[in-house]
Amino acid sequence: EADIYQTPRYLVIGTGKKITLECSQTMGHDKMYWYQQDPGMELHLIHYSYGVNSTEKGDLSSESTVSRIRTEHFPLTLESARPSHTSQYLCASSDGFNEKLFFGSGTQLSVL
Amino acid sequence: KNEVEQSPQNLTAQEGEFITINCSYSVGISALHWLQQHPGGGIVSLFMLSSGKKKHGRLIATINIQEKHSSLHITASHPRDSAVYICAGGSQGNLIFGKGTKLSVKP
């Protein structure tokens, strides 16, 4: 049902590398979100976007950046990966802030 | 203490049983979400509600704004309902998530 896609699905990378996690949706949603989830733990908001050229920081935003140049695309960049970044990263979108969320399949990141 | 608390943390049921998962929150919210997460991580939205009650198939979600409490009910549970159920509340895009309830339905 969900037309929201994340790549890569899995990524293993060395400490210090710059990485970009991709997220695209074809539903024309204005609102997009990035969440981080450790195993067995709750999701935490990293960044969200109201629409093109509009981004906001969440609780865990300090070590990453996002951009929203096109409605359908919301990439997340880690400038210098660290082992503490090892986690699952989930992208989501919605038609409005109080609307149903659609999630991508996630990117499982391992930083060695 | 998390601002969104779920109970129970783990729940095992026999096929056919009626199941209730509870969610209490201490933050102001404009909407509360119930999500289902299967092994492998995929998350599906089940309900988004700001008042009253919603029903979809065997699933029912209720919310009491005054008591800051929501419940998710599953009638006639089935092994395919086995998953982690997550509630989340907030406003203006900044959702706070519960830790989830891991449900296992045995045949």
Dihedral sign from CA coordinates of B35, A55, A57, B68: negative
Distance in Å, alpha carbon of B55 to nearest chain A alpha carbon: 15
A33 to B86: CB separation less than 8 angstroms, yes or no: no
A50 to B93: CB separation less than 8 angstroms, yes or no: yes
Range in A7-16, A39-48, A100-109, B88-97 with the lowest mean pLDDT: B88-97
Residue of B nearest to A104 (CA): B42
DSSP B8-55: -SEEEEETT--EEEEEEE-S--SEEEEEEE-TTS-EEEEEEESSEEEE
The answer to whether B43 contacts chain A (CB < 8 Å) is yes
Contact between A76 and A66 (Cβ < 8 Å):
yes
Q: Which residues of A96-109 are buried (b: 16+ CB within 10 A; e: fewer)?
A: ebbbebbbbbbbbb
Longest Cα separation, chain A: 38
The string of pLDDT tens digits covering residues A69-86 is 999 999 999 999 999 999
